């Protein structure tokens, strides 16, 4: 079974943003947090908990259904894969994502979509995000 990314122990999150940095560096070859496929946010300021906004690995992804250029294909286990050569930069996938997990690279004019590679989980100091079976 293919694995998908899940926030699991968010009560331990310190908001260090390491997961975002690793994601951007590995997947987008960038040091900009804006180029991460995941986002860490506070629930209400620095004295409250953090949340991770990431692709839910949907079995029937709405982003896939609205893609006008067939740049997105279903990924085994849930979620989608992006073929940037087919993408026309319409941003329909960004709007369609109920989790608000599709980010946009304004330089390449393509979406930044989590590939569920798990790199971010390896560097999270408190295992706040984990890879789980797609059915969990």
Q: How confident is the model at residue 44 (pLDDT cuts 50, 70, 90)?
A: confident
Is it the case that residue 136 has pLDDT exceeding 70?
no
- Asked if 111 and 90 touch (Cβ cutoff 8 Å), the reply is no
* 136 domain-assigned: no
* 132 domain-assigned: no
* 10 domain-assigned: yes
Q: What is the pLDDT of residues 46-79, one digit of tens each?
A: 677 899 999 999 999 999 999 999 999 999 999 9
CATH of the domain at 49: 3.30.70.20
Residue 120 structure tokens: 């971010």
Q: Is the pTM of this model over 0.75?
A: yes
* 55 domain-assigned: yes
- Number of separate domains in the chain: 1
* 133 domain-assigned: no
DSSP state of 13: -
Q: How confident is the model at residue 134 (pLDDT cuts 50, 70, 90)?
A: confident
What residue ranges in the chain does DSSP mark as E strands?
3-7, 39-42, 50-53, 72-74, 80-82, 103-105, 110-112, 129-133
* 91 domain-assigned: yes
Q: What is the pLDDT of residues 8-18, one digit of tens each?
A: 999 999 999 99
* b/e 64-100 (16+ beta carbons within 10 angstroms → b): bebbeeebbeebebbbbebeeeebeeeebbbeebeee
With tokens 């994502």, the residue in question is 97
What residues make up the domain containing 7? Answer: 3-126
């Amino acid at each position: 079974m293919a694995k998908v990314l899940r926030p699991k122990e968010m009560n331990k999150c310190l908001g260090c943003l390491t997961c975002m940095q690793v994601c951007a560096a590995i997947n987008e070859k960038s040091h900009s947090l804006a180029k991460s496929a995941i986002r860490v946010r506070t629930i209400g300021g620095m004295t409250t908990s953090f949340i991770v906004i990431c692709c839910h690995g949907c079995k029937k992804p709405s982003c896939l259904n609205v893609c006008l250029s067939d740049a997105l294909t279903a990924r085994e286990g849930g979620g989608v894969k992006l073929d940037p050569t087919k993408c026309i930069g319409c941003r329909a996938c960004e709007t369609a994502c109920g989790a608000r997990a599709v980010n946009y690279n304004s330089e390449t004019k393509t979406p930044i979509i989590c590939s569920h590679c798990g790199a971010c989980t390896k560097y999270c100091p408190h295992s706040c995000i984990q890879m789980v079976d797609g059915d969990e």
